Structure 1
Amino acid sequence: MTDLTLLDRSGSTSTTPLAEAPAFAKPVAPLRSRIAYAAAHVVPVATAENVPGAPAEIDWDATLAFRHHVWSWGLGVADAMDTAQRNMGLDTAATRALITRSAQEAAAVGGDLVVGVNTDHIGDEVLTLPQVIDAYVEQLQFVEDAGAGAVLMASRHVAQAAQSADDYRRIYREVLARAGAPVVLHWLGEAFDPRLAGYFGSTDWRTAAQTVQQIIAESADRVSGIKMSLLDADAEVAVRAGLPATARMFTGDDFHYVSLIAGDGVHHSDALLGAFAALAPHASAAIQALDAADDHEYARILGPTEQLSRQIFAAPTFYYKTGVAFLSWLNGHQRAFSMVGGLHAARSLPHLSEIVRLANDCGALERPELALERWHGMLALNGIEAATRTAVLA
């Protein structure tokens, strides 16, 4: 068995046996018990000028192939979300090209696709409430014209323009009135974006939840659910219990998704998770276990992945995208560990080493030998000698 070299924060190295990849089977029928979307990342052209502030140059073959990878495991794709670096390197032209191309691919293979709708094409301009509404509607119409479902993302412009819960209700009521089909709302906590602090009118989630529930009640036929990403399981459980039967809770809690998806016997969460972009085979196999009414197998498969997700989403949480792209590279879904905006530099080598360790422990290295080769090469590039010996099993 080959040894995998790990690096700690002091610069010391250690080794651990390289684990085999789990023998998960792809589903032969649609998943039934839960709806699960993986919020997919984008792969840049490795030789392009994808530096901070530069327009994104996307490797479309690799980016779209990754979406087919997710669909092949029976999961849906949530595209052009924060995992795809909205507000962190993915400019308007690249975002619209991504939406158009992903919608075409989804239509070609019957893949489930929802797409983020935001106001980020405006830049950092200060907008009035009517201008925020118009900006949302512009993107909503683009997404619907492309043939994709919509996720009405939390917007920095909304957070800046809205001065009260009434302002939030007005914005969402008028935007939802223009929706051609029910949409998923999006509640993103400040851990993911500090500029969204106090979203829905309060820093107290209980007060903000009242506004959310009012928005959904006023436009019940236009809201299919809400993605909640506060990293607070108790808050999600409470809000979930108060939703109307017509609205699903999509967990965006990358710290507690195992119990939230499993549910409490009365309610459960579906999933719209950046973590599932790194864990598509595990997510699929776990939901297949739920389909077979095997709760124990579900927990056995998905439970160990939560430690890995917590490391990927460790503070500062908004740099989690680096870990998703890193695992994509280790698993052979892209040729280089690079990101638009140079964001691959956002995490340290010891942080990445802990991702390697936890991915190895839970079986998230889909091609272990390739992952080892690439990780050891990365260590060597940084002047760190990796293990070269191979232990032979008796």
Structure 2
Amino acid sequence: MGEPRTYAPPPGPSASRTAYAAAHVVADPSGAGVLDWDTTLAFRRHLWSHGLGVAEAMDTAQRGMGLDWEVTRELIARSGQEALSAGGRIVCGAGTDQLPPGPAPLDRIAEAYEEQLAVVEAAGAVPVLMASRQLAASAQGPDDYAAVYGRLLRQVTRPAVLHWLGPMFDPALDGYWGSTDLDTATDALLALIGDHTSKIDGVKVSLLDAAREIDIRRRLPSGVRLYTGDDFNYPELIRGDEAGHSDALLGIFDPIAPAAAAALQALDKGDTTAYDEIFAPTLPLARHLFATPTYYYKTGVVFLAWLTGHQRHFRMVAGLETARPVPHLVRLFQLADAAGLFPDPGLAASRMRAWLTVQGAAP
């Protein structure tokens, strides 16, 4: 085992970048409930303590992969209350996952979004209008997206974040914004933003395509942020270039929160050398964690949370702990150790050895 890298908690959030960690949820292994609320909320306090905002009820929290709307509703309410107590920043996903799978009338999709928006706004959070599987299955083209999102944006009480989640994260979202041609889809998204600029805080782009993200970023209206969701290229996108930078709303910030916070603080000081040195060992980890099939990255996130000591078990909602094979998680353990992410290497080694024994793979 390597030595842990230690980072002092920063005095507050980054001054130069807005950064959110999309947070995982902790299952209740007893079966008495769906979530272990105390541990789930404690992890959010951990993220806030490092100056990061929390992106709640996003795909990292197993939206669409085990977490239903009723539990999600409670998660948003509880996290909103915790954010108020901790003085932490929070955004929450509003979607349409209370609807049955498959196509639905556009009015019904809009109503489902409105129901969830009301819950998010009641929690005091900034809403993230999540990409909708039902809308992807129902829309006939960009005009249908413009109609649904326009209806929502005209009524939000605070600027919202739009959400472009690529098919590598959810195959049901292929062709989002009305076309499988990414140039056409990009134009449709930018047209929507141009029509509702004052109601849009930013757009989260999760396409794992740095060049396209930079192109979108440079074409956004003034005041609209680009929140990178690119877990393969986040250091260069957040650092930015002469024409601007991306802010962050990232699943990888969940397991690397102390390092991410330290890198952002270095960037605040203009110390790009330290910024690069802190992020460099996390990048191989991120690229492995989000390897194909990318949508199973949540398994690795929870595995690392267990090894790091943030929860007492490696169990997930809907049994998703079995989604990644043993060699994948072994390599993840090695990369996390190389990045110095285990504050207690002895604990991580003990838990890893026990897990390998159960898998029949102990050395």
Under a length normalisation based on structure 1, what TM-score does the superposition of the two structures give? 0.91
Question: Cα deviations across residues 1-44 of structure 1 (Å, max 9, x unaligned)?
Answer: xxxxxxxxxxxxxxxxx111112111113320111100001001
- For 1:240, give the aligned amino acid: R
State the Cα distance separating 1:125 from its structure 2 match. 5.1
C-alpha displacement of 1:145: 1.2
Structure 1 residue 40 and structure 2 residue 23: aligned? yes
Matched residue, 2:6: 23
RMSD of aligned Cα (Å)? 1.0
Asked if 1:124 is matched to 2:101, the reply is yes
Query: Percent identity of the aligned residues?
Result: 51
Match of 1:369 in 2: 346
Query: Secondary structure in 1 aligned to 2:248?
Result: strand
Give the CA deviation at 1:150: 0.6
For residue 147 of structure 1, what is the aligned residue in structure 2? 124
Q: Does 1:203 align with 2:180?
A: yes
Aligned partner of 1:269 among 246, 271, 274: 246
Which structure has the bigger radius of gyration? 1
Q: Which amino acid aligns with 2:157?
A: G
Separation of aligned partners in 1, 2:220 and 2:103 = 33
Say which SS state the counterpart of residue 202 (structure 2) adopts. strand
CA distance in 1, matches of 2:12, 2:153: 33
Distance (whole Å) between structure 2 residues aligned to residue 266 and residue 158 of structure 1: 34
Tell me the number of residue pairs that the alignment of Structure 1 and Structure 2 aligns.
363
Moved over 6 A (4+): none
Q: Partner of 2:98: helix, strand, or coil? A: helix
Letter in 2 for 1:360: D
Q: 2:110 aligns with which of 116, 133, 136?
A: 133
Q: Is the 8 Å Cα contact of residues 166 and 173 (structure 2) preserved in structure 1?
A: yes
Match of 1:95 in 2: 72
Residue 366 (structure 1) shift: 2.6
What per-residue deviation string (whole Å, max 9, x for no partner) do you get for residues 83-130 of structure 1? Answer: 000010001111011000000000001010000000001121531111
**Deviation digits for residues 121-178 of structure 1 (CA, Å, limit 9, x no counterpart):** 1121531111111111111111101211110000001101111111111111111111
Name the CA distance, whole Å, in 1 between partners of 2:89 and 2:191: 28
Give the aligned partner of residue 15 of structure 1: none
Which aligned pairs between 1:209-288 and structure 2 lie closer than 5 A?
Answer: 209-288=186-265
Larger deviation: 367-376 or 97-106?
367-376
Helix, strand or coil: the match of 1:99? Answer: helix
Deviations 1:49-84 (A, max 9, x none): 7xxxxxx61000000000000000000000000000
Q: Provide the residue aligned with 1:328 in structure 2.
A: 305
| 1:303 correspondence with 2:275 | no
- Which letter maps to 1:298? Y
Residues 129, 171 of structure 1: 8 Å contact kept = yes
Task: Look up the equivalent residue of 2:50 and give its one-letter code.
Answer: W
Residue 304 of structure 1: how far off its partner (Å): 1.6
Say whether 1:185 aligns with 2:185.
Answer: no
User: Distance in 2 between the 1:385 and 1:129 partners?
Assistant: 53
Residue 149 of structure 2: which of 172, 183, 195 is its match? Answer: 172
Alpha carbons 1:75, 1:280 under 8 Å: kept: yes
Distance 2:260 2:120 in 1: 27
User: What residue number does 2:36 align with?
Assistant: 59
Shift of 1:380: 1.5
SS of the aligned residue for 1:185 comes to strand
Of 324-333 and 263-272, deviating more is 263-272
Contact map agreement 1:151 1:183 (CA 8 A) in 2: yes
Aligned to 2:254, the other structure's residue is in SS state helix
Whole-Å separation in 2 of the counterparts to 1:381 and 1:102: 34
Structure 1 segments unaligned to the other structure (5+ residues): 1-17, 50-55, 387-394
Preserved CA contact (<8 Å) 1:137 1:178:
no
Query: Which residue in 2 is equivalent to 1:345?
Result: 322
Alpha-carbon separation, structure 2, partners of 1:76 and 1:384? 38
